């Protein structure tokens, strides 16, 4: 897709607290997390989809989340403070085969407990590679988030790798997929900045609301990014869903 004009990016809306993001701590157990109050947005995705690059672009800090040539580097929940009572949570990357089985099992358990129990979680951002969306691990996470009643917004990252027409075709196909029913979905590029303004606007609404963002909305394509309404899947078809798919 076309690269976003730097001049347009300079004029674009930015949610200021994201620019004040700073690393607080990494946790491997729920009891290590900060007090469960205020508002949190969590970012998740399969290893190698560019999750760290998305986080760095979103906050405007190039080195905030370490970008590694080795997928699966995030092995804990990394907590970033924004303004008082606002946090951005970087969840463990999933699905990388070379990570030891025991470690993958612990990630799945931690993510499951976080998604089930964290009262301050307002929105889950799911990052997927636009060239390979809705893999088995993505579907497992979507199903579990639906089971927990968590609003989800999907980013089809690496849109710069496709032509605009091809990217919009993938977006349309994803929006028709039952797995993303009621889930806000947009094209995004951590390299070009495509979709960044829409994402900032979404997060501004999310952090500023006293309750989780309204679910099921889907916006029409806009200048900053396509289909950027927040959403949550419909009722779970499997009330015994777990994050076993991450293991």
pLDDT per residue as tens digits for the range 172-195: 999 999 999 999 999 999 999 999
Q: In this structure, what DSSP letter does residue 70 have?
A: S
Mean pLDDT (whole number) for 152-168: 98
Q: Which of 218 and 49 is assigned the larger pLDDT?
A: 49
What confidence tens digit (pLDDT) does each residue in 48-84 have? Answer: 899 999 999 999 988 787 654 444 455 789 999 999 9
* Cβ pair 114, 95 in contact under 8 A: no
Q: Which of 71 and 24 is assigned the larger pLDDT?
A: 24
- 73 membership: H or E segment, kind and range: none
Q: Taking the alpha carbons of 83, 128, 69, 4 in that order, is the dihedral positive or negative?
A: negative
> Which are the contacts of 103, defined by CB distance < 8 A and separation ≥ 6?
75
Q: What is the CA radius of gyration of the chain?
A: 16
pTM of the model: 0.80
What is the reported pLDDT for 8?
Answer: 55
Q: In this structure, what DSSP letter does residue 66 have?
A: -
Confidence band of 147 (pLDDT split at 50, 70, 90): very high
Measured torsion, CA atoms of residues 112, 75, 59, 167, in degrees rounded to the nearest 10: -70
């Amino acid at each position: 897709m076309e690269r976003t004009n730097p001049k347009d990016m300079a004029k674009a809306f930015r949610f200021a607290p994201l620019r004040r993001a700073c690393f607080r701590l990494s946790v491997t157990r729920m009891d290590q997390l900060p007090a469960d109050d205020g508002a949190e947005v969590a970012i998740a995705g399969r290893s190698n989809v560019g999750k760290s690059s998305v986080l760095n672009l979103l906050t405007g800090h190039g080195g905030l989340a370490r970008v590694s040539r080795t997928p699966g580097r995030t092995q804990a929940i990394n907590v970033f403070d924004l303004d008082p009572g606002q946090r951005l949570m970087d969840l463990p990357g999933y699905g990388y085969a070379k990570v030891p089985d025991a470690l993958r099992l612990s990630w799945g358990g931690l993510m499951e407990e976080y998604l089930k129990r964290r009262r301050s979680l307002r929105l889950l951002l799911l990052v997927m590679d636009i060239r390979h969306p809705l893999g088995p691990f993505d579907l497992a996470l979507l199903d579990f988030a639906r089971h927990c009643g968590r609003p989800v917004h999907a980013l089809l990252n690496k849109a710069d790798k496709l032509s605009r027409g091809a990217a919009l075709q993938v977006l349309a196909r994803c929006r028709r997929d039952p797995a993303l029913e009621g889930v806000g979905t947009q094209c995004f590029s951590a390299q070009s900045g495509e979709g960044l303004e829409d994402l900032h606007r979404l997060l501004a609404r999310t952090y500023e609301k006293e309750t989780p963002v309204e679910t099921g909305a889907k916006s029409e394509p806009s200048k900053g990014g396509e289909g950027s309404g927040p959403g949550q899947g419909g009722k779970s078809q499997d009330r015994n869903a777990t994050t076993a798919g991450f293991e």
